[in-house]
Amino acid sequence: MKFQEQSKCRIAWIDRLGEGMLPTRESVIQEGDLLHVVLREENATHAYAVIESGPEAE
C-alpha cells in the first residue's frame, strides 16, 4: 500500500463500517476508515505529517 511507503508505518488492521479487516496489497483506504498503525517512535512526526497532508498526487 502506498500509504505505508509514504508514512513509514504499517497498517495493522482497518476498522470499516464497524468491522475489522486485515489489509492486503490491494486494499484501498476509504473515507471513514479507522486505521490502526504500528510505527517506530522516531518516524512518528513524519507519519503524522503524511496523514495530515493526505495522499500524494500520482
Instruction: Give me the average pLDDT of each 10-residue run along the chain (58 residues).
Output: 88 96 92 94 93 75
The pLDDT of residue 58: 57
Type of residue numbered 36: H
| Domain-wise residue ranges, the chain | 1-30+44-58
The pLDDT of residue 38: 96
The pLDDT of residue 56: 65
Q: What is the pTM of this model?
A: 0.76
